[in-house]
Amino acid sequence: MRSPSTGTVEDSSSALFPVGRQGKYSDSTWPVGGLQMDRDPEHEPVMAAEVVALFATVPPGVVLDATVGAGGHAAALLSAYPHLGLFGIDRDPTALEIAASALASFGPRVVLHHARFTDLDRVVGAAWAAGRGHWPSSGEAAGAPCSISGALFDLGVSSMQLDRAERGFSYRRDAPLDMRMDPGASSSALDIVNGAGPDEMASWFRANGEGRLAGRIARAIVAARPIATTARLAEVVASAVPAAVRRRGHPAGRVFQAIRIAVNEESEELAAGLPATLGLLAGGGRCVVLAYHSGESRFVKQTFANAVSGGCVCPPGLPCVCGASAEFQWVFRGSRGASAAEVSVNARASSARLWAVERLGGRGDVDR
């Protein structure tokens, strides 16, 4: 077994480790300073109380935290529900070090793994084998081997990734362009900012809400190449937009987000990981997603609506004659946002949309 900082996504079983087990991750082996940041409201997990409440009815077994990050949501879930174990993944080895330290007190109830959403099909089976005997009920209550009691996706970038200048995510901190959530990934922001064509780049910006300025910003970036740092990229973007737009806030925010989404192939990751996760849920199990921009929310909504309708293609309002059979139900209609109180202390919560579905066949309470 290996720590996630050296394990690769191609090598699933070797990077698996139950937290707190002797000789694996421990506070002494992996001292991590980032945890102290969690006392700052901006580093608290978003909508944590709402997320925890959504897991109250899931059957005993294992919850997948597909974006374990600093382990904030994971710790809240494990504290609230002693009948649950947790399988946490993250593509960022530094995040896993932080999570391992934060979750050490939960011992073998937690198994962490360096993996991406696109690996989920493959790694869940291996994790299930590692957690068997440690996880409450080990998922057997759910029926099929490897079934999970719930799943959480808290999408996007973490505070830690934004705060550490050397990760090259933030237009507010000058550093070499990077933006890879997994520093072992092959392509960075430096590569794509200096390598992509103007049309491709404009399509990223357009998809991320840049509208008619998308082409203009993309052409300005291409003309200014080579661009090596976050500060230079932010400057080029700012100079490409009219003064009136600059007065509404730094125009680099959405452009940086669009580049980060492209670098990390976030749309492709979600498109593979979310449906795969729904397929793993036991009866009564819930899938909960926190989305932070309209592209994410649109995809989550479509995927969940499709699961709830069973893929029904009949016209809305008419009886189903296509033979589709629903396997999921909404936990609540549409999505929910953070409270005004939370948004006032944590700006990141302002864009959060919470979505949840439940697999039929459990005893969960569903509020409509």
The closest residue (CB) to ligand SAM is: 69
Interface segment toward ligand SAM; rule CB under 6 A; list 87-95, 188-196, 210-218, 274-282:
87-95
Tokens of 329: 């139900």
Nearer to ligand SAM, 71 or 85 (CB): 71
Rounded to whole angstroms, how far apart are CA atoms 312 and 176? 48
**124 scored as a contact of ligand SAM (CB under 6 A):** no
Choosing from 69, 131, 362, 364, the residue that interacts with ligand SAM (CB under 6 A) is 69
Residue of 199, 200, 176 whose CA lies nearest to 188: 176
Nearer to ligand SAM, 125 or 215 (CB): 125
Rounded to whole angstroms, how far apart are CA atoms 336 and 356? 10
Nearer to ligand SAM, 158 or 346 (CB): 158
Tokens 């793993």 correspond to 280
Side-by-side strand order, sheet with 84-90 = 17-18, 110-114, 84-90, 61-65, 148-154, 281-291, 353-359, 328-330
Nearer to ligand SAM, 92 or 97 (CB): 92
Torsion angle (degrees, nearest 10) of CA 200, 201, 207, 209: -150
- Site size for ligand SAM (CB under 6 A): 19
Please, what is the minimum distance in Å from the beta carbon of residue 18 to ligand SAM?
19
Please, what is the minimum distance in Å from the beta carbon of residue 140 to ligand SAM?
27
**116 scored as a contact of ligand SAM (CB under 6 A):** yes
Please, what is the minimum distance in Å from the beta carbon of residue 250 to ligand SAM?
21
**254 scored as a contact of ligand SAM (CB under 6 A):** no
> Residues 132-171: x/- map of binding to ligand SAM (CB under 6 A)?
----------------------x-x-x-------------
Choosing from 18, 19, 73, 304, the residue that interacts with ligand SAM (CB under 6 A) is 73
CB 26 within 8 A of CB 104: yes
Tokens 């309002």 correspond to 317
- Verify cis geometry, omega within 30 degrees of 0, for the bond prior to 226: yes
**362 scored as a contact of ligand SAM (CB under 6 A):** no
Backbone angles phi, psi at 246, to 5 degrees: -60, -30
Task: Please give the full DSSP string across 304-325, using - where no structure is assigned.
Answer: HHHHHHTT--SPTTSPP-S---
Give residues in contact with ligand SAM (CB under 6 A).
Answer: 45, 67, 69-73, 89-92, 95, 116-117, 154, 156, 158, 181, 269
